[in-house]
Amino acid sequence: MLLAARGIQQPNLVTVPFASSQTWVAPAGTSLLSSVTGHGVNGVASTPDTTYQQPSTYTLTTTYTEVFNDGAETGNTGSTTEPATASSSVPAFYCTAFVSGNYGNGHYNRCLCFEYVKNEIPGASGGSPGTPGETGASATGFGKIFDGGTPSAPTAATTNYSNVPVTPGASYPVVVPSGAMITITYYA
């Protein structure tokens, strides 16, 4: 008020927002920007890889052949199939030693053979392979860089610089991609 009473005009705080790229010319008498505030373009968050493969199932097939002690086959053969447990840790195919038994009037030996067959489930996958995300473009102006967001922090952080010197009458290119922002304040 004292300045106004003496006929001296008080300086006005001027705010200039930049939402697009352009050139700013520093007004005569302006040699200091009170603040330069801005942010780049938001990034795109990365998404985790959620793909999964259905576990394959295994089928256990047991076959046997019975042989009399004299070497003649009994004629009895067979095969059974059942789901194998996931904890089965056996070779894909193996046979046991002969097991003795009685058949009718004779004695026989039985050999059991086991085969584990992997059964793929067609189209048995799901989820999403994930995306790496994208870093947002930076904005620049007045010798300052305003970074864009990152895949891990997609929202671009606002940065503030105080007391940035400028040259009256000089041109300053301001590069502001769509979605970014720079705002300057100065006294005129």
Percent of the chain at pLDDT exceeding 90: 46
Map out the domains of the chain as residue ranges. 8-47+129-187, 52-126
Q: Convert the pLDDT of each residue in 52-78 to its tens digit.
A: 444 444 555 555 555 555 555 555 555
Q: What is the pLDDT of residues 124-155, one digit of tens each?
A: 455 566 778 899 999 999 999 999 999 999 99
Burial class of residue 23 (count of CB atoms within 10 Å of its CB; 0-12, 13-18, 19+): exposed
The CATH architecture of the domain made up of 52-126 is Roll (3.10)
Q: Assign domain 8-47+129-187 to a CATH class.
A: mainly beta
**What's the predicted TM-score (pTM) here?**
0.57
Q: Do 8-47+129-187 and 52-126 agree at the fold level?
A: no
Please tell me the distance from the alpha carbon of residue 153 to that of residue 44, in angstroms, as a whole number: 9
Question: Is residue 115 scored above 70 in pLDDT?
Answer: no
